[in-house]
Amino acid sequence: MTLLAGPRAAAPRVAPHLRHERVLLRDGARLLAGMDEVGRGSLAGPVSVGVVVVDAGTRSAPKGVADSKLLAPAARTRLLPALGRWGVARAVGHASAAEIDEIGIIAALRLAGTRALAAVAQSVGPVDVVLLDGSHDWLSRPAQPDLFTADDQLDAPAPRVHVRVKADRTCASVAAASVLAKCERDAMMVDLAAEHPAYRWDENKGYASAEHMAALRELGPSVLHRRSWRLPVAGEVLDGSVLVCGAPFGAGDPSDVDGLLDAGAVLVPDEDEAF
């Protein structure tokens, strides 16, 4: 008898958990902040950083919590009441398009993250460690403050930072932070769309959709666009995920996203970056 194998079922997605957070908490931390950013590749509006603080007594995350990019908008919104009660504290910090233009995207991320940490510190005090999604620590201040270090970053306490690739998919505190940041920033962009309807921010949230770029070609940038980003009046697709607008191809290594962004590149959303 021959057994014919049918289509292999997709492996079930593992829900984010607190195992990594608990390892760091057992290592001496009292308060841990899961942190994630949204809006980094947008053409307009702020970059936003969510923070969710947990401690040794924090229970498992509410059912359904996942990386915000894996959730439909309605699913993210349904989680907000439960996330508002979960953990020790939570906040979202923002850095405006004007601030991004002034200090660059990496320093603006640090500024938004510092603001979020300052907000939670008002209720629970400074956190001991931050669990940051990705492989690059954009939160820690440079060893020597420079022109891109804002005044409110100098006074803030500097927690220990632990980076983890795909933390937004495996670490509950980071996934929760991503949902909070995404919902708050999306709501801001919907409100701003009423003042600038031609760019369709209520639909694209400031990202490089076809309608958004067509409006830029016709009308030029608004006061809420990131003007230092050499906006996509014309451009080429580079490496399948980065649209370089006006910047020479030699401006950076395609694998160096931070360098490309600082050089004026624009991230084009892919299947993991839903509007």
Q: Other C-beta atoms within 10 Å of 133: how many?
A: 23
At residue 261, does pLDDT exceed 80? no
Q: How large is the average pLDDT for residues 233-254?
A: 39
pLDDT score for 145: 60
Cα dihedral 92→216→274→32 (10° resolution): -20
Sign of CA dihedral 71, 77, 79, 84: positive
Count, residues in the chain: 275
Task: List pLDDT tens digits, range 97-111.
Answer: 999 999 999 999 999
**Conformational region of residue 184, where left means phi above 0, alpha means psi within -120 to 50, and beta covers everything else:** alpha
Q: Other C-beta atoms within 10 Å of 247: how many?
A: 19
In sequence order, which residues have a C-beta less than 8 Å from that of residue 196 and are 6 or more positions away? 222, 224
pLDDT score for 103: 95
Q: What's the whole-model pTM score?
A: 0.80
Residue 89 CA to residue 53 CA, distance in Å, equals 5
Give me 113's structure tokens. 């993250």
In degrees, to the nearest 5, what angle opens at C-alpha 107 toward C-alphas 101 and 109?
A: 95
Band of residue 155 on the pLDDT scale cut at 50, 70, 90: low
At residue 219, does pLDDT exceed 70? yes
pLDDT score for 244: 38
